[in-house]
Amino acid sequence: MTKTVNHWIGGKTVEGASGNWGPVTDPATGAVTTRVALASAEEVDAAVAAAKAAYATWGTSSLAQRTGVLFAYRALLDAHRDEIAALITAEHGKVHSDALGEVARGLEIVELACGITVQLKGELSTQVSSRVDVAAIRQPLGVVAGITPFNFPAMVPMWMFPLAIACGNTFVLKPSEKDPSAANLLAELASQAGLPDGVLNVVHGDKVAVDALLEHPDVAAVSFVGSTPIARYIHTTASANGKRVQALGGAKNHMLVLPDADLDAAADAAVSAAYGSAGERCMAISAVVAVGAIGDELVEKIRERAEKIKIGPGDDPASEMGPLITAAHRDKVASYVTGAAAQGAEVVLDGTGHTVDGYENGHWIGLSLLDKVSTDSDAYRDEIFGPVLCVLRADTYEEGVRLINDSPFGNGTAIFTRDGGAARRFQLEVQAGMVGVNVPIPVPVGYHSFGGWKDSLFGDHHIYGNDGVHFYTRGKVVTTRWPDPSEAPAGVDLGFPRNH
């Protein structure tokens, strides 16, 4: 073990004092490379106190000051893309090009935050009544907490804190303890960009730290991204403690392929979206629904492509797919493939038992393709979160959409077709928060908002975009009367105020 990851509180590194440490593993070698501090409730309290103290001035700082910092931050992040991506690869395992993509999509939200001057513009109605004007403004909440998952250790935190601090809040981030290093670098660069101490704090930990944030009286709001059971718990607990909360959960994303689709394009998209980042994406396509007679041909095209994917360590430029996050997760993913045949599926590709020369202890698994999967099988019902693609068959468009809408998840979905009318109907009928038309991973750009429906999101606000600005601010309406200097006072009137 060579490295220690500590907390970042009040603009400096603060050593973990709880005595509890978590192991961080390089998924390609299986070796523990790092230990991460796991915060006690007292350490979380120190981070919240630092954020609260910083809010006293940051909450009323000028927009010019905030955007000045954010523009400088944008430039620093741009210059450190490779370094951030390398940290992600070393702890998450995804290939470097994919890690760079994650950094780019996070930067998008920093760029959005640079334009907060426009998004925070209020509204003004003049002369709503005689000499009365009404202004609507939005103000920050105070201290906001973010709790993030392992699969995007840089992008998901950047979905949250840049907009939150642009809106005038201060922030406490609790990253995943499985790949914690990128978060510290993001916070250090923010300091270098001129962010005042305490505006952005990183506290590492597990359930103890999360619960301390959920129960802390000085935390006004909680943004969470992670699995559905924990998202539900965060939403319930934070709401019960009087906090505003958005909790994004897990997914099972379907791709509906109609008989008229370009099957080569659909197969390319299915392979990219199912196996990219080894399937550890909340927007991964994990179920393809083939409509009509195209099933066999589509499965064959997917198989041909999947077989060619090169699996290896993320820092090898030749690798297209890296390992899974932990050995335990790899074994769980493998269990869905080994159990699939007994539950009626045809195992077209079995990725279990895959090894990579020279990396015998890495968390490897190959690509698996399961055909004719039934809707009551475990492989279909659970979010596997690995490189396992299920193919289901439907006779008609209606049957395919019904199948998708019966899923408890509703994160992303996609349709592949050349029929504009069918695509239009799908957009309106499908029960999911993000829809792709011939686009397999429809992650919205930064100035739209990201979020699913049903068990994929608990709370009222999607994340980033306009919803993000609304989540991190609250509205205030100011009604003003300035009497004309030449007028006599109106006198006492006990009636309810009317406009005239």
Q: Which positions touch ligand NAD (CB under 6 A)?
A: 147-152, 156, 174, 176-177, 206-207, 210, 225-227, 230, 248-251, 282, 383, 385, 411, 452, 456
Strand order from edge to edge, sheet including 368-371: 346-349, 368-371, 388-394, 285-291, 253-257, 412-416, 434-437
Q: Give the angle subtended at the CA of 358 by the CAs of 353 and 361, to the nearest 5°.
A: 50
Q: Which is nearer to ligand NAD, 176 or 368 (CB)?
A: 176
Q: Which is nearer to ligand NAD, 189 or 225 (CB)?
A: 225
- How many other CB atoms are found less than 10 A from the CB of residue 86? 18
Tokens of 414: 């996609």
Say if CB 434 and CB 283 are below 8 A apart. yes
Say if CB 138 and CB 475 are below 8 A apart. yes
User: In whole angstroms, how close is the CB of 249 to ligand NAD at the nearest point?
Assistant: 6
Say if CB 33 and CB 361 are below 8 A apart. no
Q: Which residue is nearest to ligand NAD (CB)?
A: 226
- The catalytic position among 114, 167, 282, 390 is 282
Say if CB 300 and CB 266 are below 8 A apart. no
Alpha helices, H only, 389-464: 397-406, 420-429
User: In whole angstroms, how close is the CB of 233 to ligand NAD at the nearest point?
Assistant: 6
User: In whole angstroms, how close is the CB of 281 to ligand NAD at the nearest point?
Assistant: 7
- Distance in Å from the first CA to the final CA of the chain: 75
User: In whole angstroms, how close is the CB of 439 to ligand NAD at the nearest point?
Assistant: 17
Integer Cα distance of 87 and 23 in angstroms: 15
Q: Which is nearer to ligand NAD, 277 or 417 (CB)?
A: 277
User: In whole angstroms, how close is the CB of 346 to ligand NAD at the nearest point?
Assistant: 26
Integer Cα distance of 59 and 67 in angstroms: 13
Nearest Cα residue to 224 out of 283, 148, 170, 314: 148
User: In whole angstroms, how close is the CB of 102 to ligand NAD at the nearest point?
Assistant: 11
Q: Which is nearer to ligand NAD, 234 or 373 (CB)?
A: 234
Say if CB 336 and CB 379 are below 8 A apart. yes
Helix (H, G, I), strand (E, B) or coil at 6: coil
Q: Which is nearer to ligand NAD, 148 or 417 (CB)?
A: 148
Q: Is 390 designated active site?
A: no
Q: Which is nearer to ligand NAD, 10 or 459 (CB)?
A: 459
Say if CB 365 and CB 352 are below 8 A apart. yes
Integer Cα distance of 442 and 410 in angstroms: 13
User: In whole angstroms, how close is the CB of 463 to ligand NAD at the nearest point?
Assistant: 7
Q: Tokens 């990725």, residue? A: 351
- How many other CB atoms are found less than 10 A from the CB of residue 309? 17
Tokens of 267: 């197969």
Nearest Cα residue to 27 out of 276, 322, 353: 322
Q: Which is nearer to ligand NAD, 26 or 177 (CB)?
A: 177
Helix (H, G, I), strand (E, B) or coil at 454: strand
Q: Which is nearer to ligand NAD, 115 or 444 (CB)?
A: 444
Tokens of 457: 């999101």
User: In whole angstroms, how close is the CB of 475 to ligand NAD at the nearest point?
Assistant: 26
Q: Which is nearer to ligand NAD, 253 or 417 (CB)?
A: 253
Q: CA distances (Å), 399 to each of 204, 243, 289, 410, in order?
A: 46, 41, 10, 17
Q: Give strand pairing partners of 12.
A: 9
User: In whole angstroms, how close is the CB of 188 to ligand NAD at the nearest point?
Assistant: 20
Nearest Cα residue to 55 out of 233, 150, 196, 189: 196
Nearest Cα residue to 39 out of 186, 208, 217: 208
Which residues are the active-site residues? Answer: 282
